[in-house]
Structure 1
Amino acid sequence: MAGRIRNDDVVLVRERARIDEVVREHVSLKSAGGASLKGLCPFHDEKSPSFHVTPSKGFWYCFGCGEGGDVIGFLQKIEHLSFSEVVEKLAGKYNIQLRYDESSNRSGINTGQRTRIVEANKLAAEFFVQNLNSPEAETGRKFLTERGFDKAAAHKFGVGYALKGWDSLTNHLKQKGFTDTELTLAGLSVAGQRGVYDRFRGRLTWPIRDASGDVVGFGARRLYDDDQGPKYLNTPETPVYKKSQVLYGIDLARKEIASSKQAVIVEGYTDVMACHLSGVTTAVATCGTAFGDDHARVLRRFLMDQEQLRGEIIYTFDGDEAGRKAALKAFNLDQSFVAQTFVAVESSGLDPCELRQKSGNDAIVALVKSRVPLFEFVIKSTIASFDLNTAEGRVSALRAAAPVVAGIKDVALRPEYTRMLAGWLGADSNTVVQAVGSATNSRSRISLEVEANKPEKKEMLQDTVETSMERECLKLTFQFSDLVKTWFAQLTPDCFSHQKYREIFESILSSELNEISANTAHDATEDEEQRALIAA
């Protein structure tokens, strides 16, 4: 295998890859004054943006959690990639030919694991799209037509067809140079007793892309009665596909989500297609799992680039028991944006794809506009199962709904929903206030116990006059190295009272670098905390 990527090429990748351009694929950024940009940190939950990007320096830093680094470090952390994998990914994006210090027995460039998987997925997606035009795929084309999707729609979303043969895709990709191990690692093939065979066979396929547009997996829909597999089959967990973090359609919707401050959550691939074709271009869907905390964090990065929480999350739930349970789950997620969360319920139980078939594009737009606050939907759904015409029913409904109202984290909203609950129940307002208060106190006691058992958080660097001066000293050195070289040479480690700043100074001295800069200092140390402080 090839060895270490040459340092000159790493430097070139870092120079070519604009950090603001790369970060914007994951975070909405706005001007922070001067030459800096800011947004909500993708590495911890926050309501006000403390994540700063400085394009002129090529660094990012979060003043909330203390994480920081360069464009390579950002992708390493957010996409869980190795250093080499990030460099190779960026090199491919910016058309940079990488060279390696050691010779390789393999011809061509040695690519990292992630790069190989993404490339295999890309070729698989192209293969599936070609197959959709084959005679065998007639059933698949009919499926799409019956649901209102023409050839142009299928092309827009990359819909394809997996042939029935046991190893059609596997053989195709092996001819492209991929090994059995790589194909099973990518989730495209399965290792059996008689060898490796295709995971997806005789199914319609949808490519699942990450926010940057890379194909990380597939969803596949059963078409034939003799297929004993699940209705929808997804790529298993792989180094690049994590179903708890993936949202189908995010590559198409992310820009509109960021600009409109709205995201619509639907259940399936065809629902996303129906919404986008109807003009609701902020629709995304989970892939084989319920909407969870990680999905919320993904959307939060695109939605909330203001100090005030102005983003809207709109869930499309059925008006049945399953829809109520889904709404309760959404309610119980981290409520850092639940005050702006809504539910759009189709009264007859149709999903967006079915609704578009029956009533056209305007019906989808109207459904989204008919949204109601999630809190209202959950509370009304909770009390709907009780007979409010009887005293016993009203008391039982109050007992069930009071903890729900108490669970609203926004203390400014809680009294308003308490008043509304009293009206919906036809109950005395003081009685409802007392019930919600009791439920709130109970939740507070539980929260205190949980908080007491939480592990201690990492202590953040607290600025003093001395440490502030030391930091500014290093910044001046990085920014105006030619002017301060003589002065810098007179400094000693004892001049720095803060341990990390002293270590940064020492790493510069020990590196014997001809050039003093933030980048060279960053590369001279492997300590992540030091790198974060350099990036600040």
Structure 2
Amino acid sequence: MAGRIREEDIKRVRDASPIADVIGEYLQLRPAGADNLRGLCPFHEERTPSFYVRPSRGVFYCFGCAQGGDVIAFVMKHDHLTFVEAVEWLAGRAGIQLRYEEGSAAPRSQQSYRTRLLEAHKVAHEYFMEHLATPEAAPAREFLAERGFDAQVAEHFQLGYAPAGWENLVRHLRARRFTDKEILDSGLASPGRHGPMDRFRGRLIWPIKDLAGDVIGFGARRLDEHDTGPKYLNTPETPLYKKSQVLYGIELAKREIARRQQAVIVEGYTDVMACHLAGVPTAIATCGTAFGTEHIKILRRLIHDDAELGSGISRAQIIFTFDGDEAGRKAAERAFAEDQRFVNQTYVAIEPNGMDPCELRQHKGDAAVRELIAQRVPLYEFALRSTVDQYDLDTAEGQIAALDAAAPI
């Protein structure tokens, strides 16, 4: 967690980030008077522009939803970032090196090193994307094509390919002046007898990003049947990548999650892709771990459940789409335990034949994926049904046992 940024640096960031230029990167602004610009508000639905920017004062205000503030407030609100994250993002845009107060949670040296690790991931991501078009990557392209994903889809989701070999990426990063320590600490390589060796080799690559859109890790799918490694391999725990805190697709889905007050939790990378292509742009996935409290904290930044605490009624929806097999059912029941700490209405959407969203899109088309989400059932109902179905309700003993098991729910 980043620490306190020096006040003079915050002022430098504001001064170096003209509000009209920054907001103009997000939406179209048109002149509206001597010192005003106007556009459609990004924070609520409207047809007549009520969102105004006053460059001379460095502020914005919407007369429709009463949102307003300076350039930092806009980035915080629009991209769902904390104050520190927004300042850091703007500083990176302006090329400003931030300084942190002594004794803060992230001293300057630590924050500078984090920036180096982010840069290493950016270089690695570009390297992987370039290699997806190479002859060696044909199996990766075939894997995608078999699941209904063409080159345009791969480009949209910024997929890549890690070439086979032990030091391809390591050599590339060294050539870009990254040290072996930086390469290892980033999780892009593993220690070997003769130095760092590529962690991802001969695999299809998905970039995993944070809310700000920075690449913090990768997910990789095995393509060679002779590869004895795991089918899916993720970045290990690093200063950037904490698996309990990452959600694949969050940078793509965050605006629609906030706008619709809905998040669809799927299991895999291809499920996220299938959902987005099918018209479910709120889909995200955990990366090799169960949905937990840290993921809930991320969603709380996007979905506002606190306003409903008094009434007990929430407009927001969290929808889990687990596989229909036994493992998927157990995952849904684990999620129910987490739901006790989450005020939102929580649902489950399971395809009767056990197909995941990617398989469903392949076999039945986009409409079937949308219908799956539309036919969701409350999680408590699913948990009760799954529990009761384990007992013989034709006997008194079974009925009593089912009641005992269902009581905690």
Q: Please classify the TM superposition score into its range, dividing by the shorter chain length.
A: 0.7 to 0.9
Matched, 1:377 2:391: no
Paired with 2:188 and 2:267, the residues of 1 have a C-alpha distance of 23
Matched, 1:292 2:297: no
Matched, 1:314 2:319: yes
Residue pairs, 1:185-224, within 5 angstroms: 185-224=185-224
Q: For residue 520 of structure 1, what is the aligned residue in structure 2? A: none
Q: For residue 389 of structure 1, what is the aligned residue in structure 2? A: 394
Counterpart residue identity of residue 364, structure 1: V
Paired with 1:58 and 1:326, the residues of 2 have a C-alpha distance of 39
Counterpart residue identity of residue 328, structure 2: G
For residues 439-491 of structure 1, what are the alpha-carbon distances to aligned partners after superposition, in whole Å with 9 as ceiling and x for unaligned? xxxxxxxxxxxxxxxxxxxxxxxxxxxxxxxxxxxxxxxxxxxxxxxxxxxxx
For the residue of structure 1 that corresponds to 2:197, the secondary structure is strand
Structure number having the greater helix percentage: 1
For residues 189-216 of structure 1, what are the alpha-carbon distances to aligned partners after superposition, in whole Å with 9 as ceiling and x for unaligned? 1121111111000000000011111001
CA contact (8 A) 1:263 1:312 kept: yes
Q: CA deviation at 1:301?
A: 1.5
Paired with 1:183 and 1:395, the residues of 2 have a C-alpha distance of 59
Distance of aligned partners of 1:339 and 1:387 in 2 relative to their CA distance in 1, 3 Å threshold: farther
Q: Which runs of 5+ in 2 are unaligned?
A: 27-41, 45-58, 62-66, 75-79, 100-109, 309-313
Paired with 1:191 and 1:304, the residues of 2 have a C-alpha distance of 43
Q: CA deviation at 1:327?
A: 1.5
For the residue of structure 1 that corresponds to 2:289, the secondary structure is coil
For the residue of structure 2 that corresponds to 1:295, the secondary structure is helix
Distance of aligned partners of 1:352 and 1:72 in 2 relative to their CA distance in 1, 3 Å threshold: closer
Q: For residue 242 of structure 1, what is the aligned residue in structure 2? A: 242
CA RMSD of aligned residues (A): 3.3
Paired with 1:389 and 1:252, the residues of 2 have a C-alpha distance of 49
Q: CA deviation at 1:178?
A: 0.7
Matched, 1:74 2:83: yes
Distance of aligned partners of 1:59 and 1:338 in 2 relative to their CA distance in 1, 3 Å threshold: closer
Q: For residue 279 of structure 1, what is the aligned residue in structure 2? A: 279
Residue pairs, 1:167-186, within 5 angstroms: 167-186=167-186
Q: For residue 131 of structure 1, what is the aligned residue in structure 2? A: 131
TM-score scaled by structure 1?
A: 0.60
Matched, 1:344 2:349: yes
Q: 1:402 aligns with which of 395, 399, 407?
A: 407
Counterpart residue identity of residue 297, structure 1: K
Distance of aligned partners of 1:123 and 1:372 in 2 relative to their CA distance in 1, 3 Å threshold: same
Distance of aligned partners of 1:245 and 1:98 in 2 relative to their CA distance in 1, 3 Å threshold: closer
For the residue of structure 1 that corresponds to 2:302, the secondary structure is helix
CA contact (8 A) 1:293 1:334 kept: no
* Higher-RCO chain (CA-CA 8 Å, sequence separation at least 6): 1
CA contact (8 A) 2:244 2:295 kept: yes
Range 201-210 or range 165-174, more displaced: 165-174
Identity %: 56
Paired with 2:235 and 2:364, the residues of 1 have a C-alpha distance of 33
For residues 281-340 of structure 1, what are the alpha-carbon distances to aligned partners after superposition, in whole Å with 9 as ceiling and x for unaligned? 000000111100110111122111671221100000223321221111111115244551
Counterpart residue identity of residue 365, structure 1: R
Counterpart residue identity of residue 313, structure 1: I
Distance of aligned partners of 1:243 and 1:18 in 2 relative to their CA distance in 1, 3 Å threshold: farther
Distance of aligned partners of 1:58 and 1:97 in 2 relative to their CA distance in 1, 3 Å threshold: closer
For the residue of structure 2 that corresponds to 1:201, the secondary structure is coil
Larger Rg: 1
Paired with 1:10 and 1:307, the residues of 2 have a C-alpha distance of 31
Distance of aligned partners of 1:36 and 1:125 in 2 relative to their CA distance in 1, 3 Å threshold: closer
CA contact (8 A) 2:324 2:355 kept: no
Q: For residue 143 of structure 2, what is the aligned residue in structure 1? A: 143
